[in-house]
């Protein structure tokens, strides 16, 4: 009998969630976020120096920018640390209000989300072993390359649309850049393609074995993503970014994380 009651209760809750999920698709206004008392930032905390774990805390450049946004709205910042390739879905389902994840504002993503103004210029970089015969972009041809699943580095190496002239032998996709680097060091792949700044951090930790090549594969801009149709939130976020740029605070934050070795 008890079991039955539990089942009924479960079914009731499940039934109630259907309309709630439907409501979740309604884009939250700034007022809604303020009423909820929190700004939910979704990220993938495996991307030092933009977001990474310091003990239990998620810290980094994106966290500091998002904290400023939360402060401006007068709400708490809540961080949701999830897989990179699920970030956009989290926005679309209403589970997150913003994505701050060193995310490149690229045209494909623009179909599904709105982006703030850019706050950082980035590029894709190549990491290889110190004794590798790969010295430049062209040497990636025919090689096994590790990337982070669902990133612009993945897109570049997979080259589905033939946007560049590189044809790698195999693209191995990892959920964390660190795992790709471990496989590189173990000899399972020949190179890792990942964002320039995180590449620098990964190499610093293993400088006796691996190196980052100087050549930049792409030109990208990081921006904060939000659900499509978030015009009022976008305005607030852009105001924070432009204030942080003008006051020099953004540069200060960035250099703090680069200097911290």
Binding stretches for ligand GLN (CB under 6 A): 44, 47, 84, 101-104, 148, 151-152, 195, 220
Beta carbon nearer to ligand GLN, 101 or 171 = 101
Beta carbon nearer to ligand GLN, 148 or 230 = 148
Question: Is there a contact between 220 and 106 (Cβ–Cβ < 8 Å)?
Answer: yes
Q: How far is the CB of 201 from ligand GLN (least distance, A)?
A: 12
Q: Using only the alpha carbons of the chain, give its radius of gyration.
A: 21
Beta carbon nearer to ligand GLN, 75 or 153 = 153
Q: How far is the CB of 153 from ligand GLN (least distance, A)?
A: 6
Residue with tokens 């620098």: 200
Q: Which residue is nearest to ligand GLN (CB)?
A: 151
Cα 95 from Cα 241, distance rounded (Å)? 23
Beta carbon nearer to ligand GLN, 94 or 150 = 150
- Interior CA angle at 44 toward 50 and 66, to 5°? 55
Cα 257 from Cα 261, distance rounded (Å)? 8
Count of residues in the chain: 261
Question: Is there a contact between 216 and 125 (Cβ–Cβ < 8 Å)?
Answer: yes
Q: For residue 178, what is the enclosing H or E element?
A: helix 177-185
Q: How far is the CB of 206 from ligand GLN (least distance, A)?
A: 19
Q: How far is the CB of 84 from ligand GLN (least distance, A)?
A: 5
Q: How far is the CB of 162 from ligand GLN (least distance, A)?
A: 19
Cα 255 from Cα 144, distance rounded (Å)? 33
Q: How far is the CB of 53 from ligand GLN (least distance, A)?
A: 14
- The CA-based diameter of the chain, rounded to the nearest angstrom, is 70
Question: Is there a contact between 62 and 120 (Cβ–Cβ < 8 Å)?
Answer: no
Beta carbon nearer to ligand GLN, 116 or 151 = 151
Q: How far is the CB of 114 from ligand GLN (least distance, A)?
A: 15
Beta carbon nearer to ligand GLN, 97 or 220 = 220
Using alpha carbons, select from 66, 50, 101, 102 the residue that is nearest to residue 237: 66
Beta carbon nearer to ligand GLN, 218 or 230 = 218
């Amino acid at each position: 009998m008890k079991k039955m009651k539990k089942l009924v209760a479960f079914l009731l809750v499940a039934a109630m969630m259907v309309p709630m999920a439907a409501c979740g698709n309604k884009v939250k206004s700034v007022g809604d976020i303020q009423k909820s008392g929190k700004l939910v930032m979704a990220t993938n905390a495996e991307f030092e120096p933009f977001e990474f774990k310091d003990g239990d805390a998620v810290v980094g450049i994106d966290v500091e920018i998002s904290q400023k946004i939360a402060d401006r709205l007068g709400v708490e910042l809540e961080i949701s640390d999830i897989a990179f390739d699920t970030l956009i879905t989290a926005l679309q389902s209403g589970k997150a209000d913003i994505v701050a994840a060193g995310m490149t504002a690229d045209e494909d993503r623009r179909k599904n989300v709105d982006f703030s103004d850019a706050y950082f210029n980035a590029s894709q970089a190549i990491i290889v072993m110190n004794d590798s015969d790969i010295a430049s972009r062209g040497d990636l041809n025919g090689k096994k390359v590790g990337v982070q699943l669902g990133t612009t580095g993945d897109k570049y190496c997979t080259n589905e649309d033939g946007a560049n002239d590189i044809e790698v032998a195999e693209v191995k996709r990892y959920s964390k850049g660190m795992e790709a680097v471990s496989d590189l060091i173990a000899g399972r792949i020949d190179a890792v393609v990942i964002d320039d700044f995180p590449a620098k951090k990964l190499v610093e930790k293993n400088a006796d074995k691996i190196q980052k090549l100087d050549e930049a594969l792409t030109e990208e801009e990081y921006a904060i993503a939000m659900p499509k149709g978030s015009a009022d939130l976008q305005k607030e976020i852009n105001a924070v970014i432009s204030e942080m740029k003008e006051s020099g605070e953004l540069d200060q934050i960035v250099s703090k994380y680069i200097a911290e070795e």
